[in-house]
Structure 1
């Protein structure tokens, strides 16, 4: 436990360095899965590590140690963690659990509101056109979800680009992209060191939807042009006219009233569409898997060490 318990925290510090390579060099769908899994696993592992460290502080308190029939004096002598470190871990654990619980509650309310709003939008093909000058398009999850497009956005794009727009937004719904965003941000709430991973996920889901549109249209250049035109139109619209979603973006994925974050950098998306499709990049995939296995293994090892410590002080 002297080393293993700290490894997930160290990996959480180093993992964000891989967010940019994964999002720019790896196929978007795979990158989204890897980034989201990294955020969830590392957040879980670091939270458990904090809990293990905090426990070593609790068992040094005689009244609490008595509840488990442990010896507080033996714990103070044999515990490998410094008391100050254990107390700090307890404070960080409380902050992590509180932040994660608050975000989970907000996301649950937002998804419920989005599903209710989608149910109130009757449509045969899942497309809702709203009479609004603001160029806007977004996916609204529900059972089923809806793609909402403003008349302002339809005026900006030509007929062929309308199909690209719809394919992009429907890809958000079909791929359940709002789940990836929510999970990544939940991990970042529990461990703020992982925020770059959550930010990268908001970009890779856009790239994922872009690639779906490129595959469907068969013309990557035309998709890149549509992305640029839609984003430029939304940017130029006066603030009072801007709608709740982001052009060809994910702002609407979790509901109109509570957008999560801005869409990924448009120039990077356009450049990626003008280049050949990305591959799976086995080296990055293997490196990510190794990090997650190391974090999980270290957490399990630290938990076993604490179990042995509790057994030893219980036998004293």
Structure 2
């Protein structure tokens, strides 16, 4: 295998360096899409690269090469990849597949449970108010989803701030933010190097919802105050049993861990971010490079298999 098979692995080392700038300098909806696409494409590309390297190792063993009528001796002579590299890639591939399958199964179960819980909640206009002194608010994905707010949170906020809170949580449901989180976590499960991208998406979806609330109310400063006030109330509220319900990320999540609150407040107090075409173009270039490199590596393997099968 030539150098192309290693390029997606190299890009996976570089991509996390751009996660923070992309999440903080780009319009949050676009940043979320770019980060999610990056996690999926790089996760898939690195998994395919590992599979290609693993195959070059397998065909060097006569017992396995005989299955495809390949020449193990020719493979050992013509393939430039070291056998140790191919075997190590095979181990990493097995771990990646297992982790991705485990994460996918857990996410499907979580979303199914969330949808069932949402369907069982009596509601008016998708809003569920629970008797709880702890200030809290979260969204439960479903068909349709639910916005759950505690009486403690309602008493903490005034009427305008309640509208802002509801606009924020409804934005999570309307834009299917749980899907972006699940997809980036899937990519990170296949390639742990991409975890910073998944972390960045949990921040950008909150920023996306903040901006929707600001657009709905027309008052960015008031939204910023509400975000800070709600987070502070949730931080100082009484504790509760973990796992009592499911939030947008698949578990009950206080607003204090939904995203770095000071950064969100600062972003709301500043002018809205633009789309940053340079960052978008750089991300697109990285993804195209990963895809083309993977395709080139697959072609290299095809040529190798033809060569070892012709003798």
**TM-score, scaled to structure 1:** 0.95
CA contact (8 A) 2:134 2:239 kept: no
- Number of residues of Structure 1 aligned to a counterpart in Structure 2: 310
2:62, 2:72 within 8 Å by CA — same for their partners in 1?
A: yes
| 2:281 aligned with 1:298 | no
Q: Which residue of 2 aligns with 1:279?
A: 274
Equivalent of 1:262 in 257, 266, 272: 257
How far apart, CA to CA, are the structure 2 residues paired with 1:224 and 1:190? 36
Instruction: Kindly indicate whether residue 200 of structure 2 is the aligned counterpart of residue 205 of structure 1.
Output: no
1:219 CA displacement: 0.3
CA 1:202–1:297: 2 relative to 1, 3 Å: same
Alpha-carbon shift at residue 163 of structure 1 (Å): 0.3
In the alignment, is the contact (CA less than 8 A) between 1:41 and 1:292 conserved in 2? yes
> Retained in 2: the 8 A contact 1:140–1:253?
yes
Map 1:53-202; keep pairs closer than 5 Å: 53-202=53-202
Question: Measured at CA, do residues 258 and 76 of structure 1 come closer, stay the same or move farther in structure 2, by a change above 3 Å?
Answer: farther
Q: Tell me the residue number matched to 1:27.
A: 27
Distance 1:301 1:241 in 2: 52
Q: Point out where structure 1 has 5 or more consecutive residues left out of the alignment.
A: 246-250
SS in 1 for 2:247: helix
Query: What is the match of residue 315 of structure 1?
Result: 310
Task: Tell me: CA distance 1:160–1:243, structure 2 relative to 1, closer, same or farther (3 Å).
Answer: farther
How big is each residue's C-alpha offset from its partner over 1:49-71, in whole Å with a ceiling of 9 and x where there is no partner? 00000000100011110110100
Which secondary structure state, in structure 2, belongs to the residue aligned with residue 147 of structure 1?
A: strand
- Contact 1:167/1:212 (CA < 8 Å) preserved in 2? yes
Q: Secondary structure, in 3 states, of the residue corresponding to 1:132? A: coil
Distance 2:243 2:156 in 1: 15
RMSD: 1.6
TM-score, normalised via structure 2 length = 0.97
Q: What is the CA deviation profile of residues 275-316 of structure 1, one whole-angstrom value per residue up to 9, with x for unaligned ones?
A: 000000000000000000000000000000000000000001
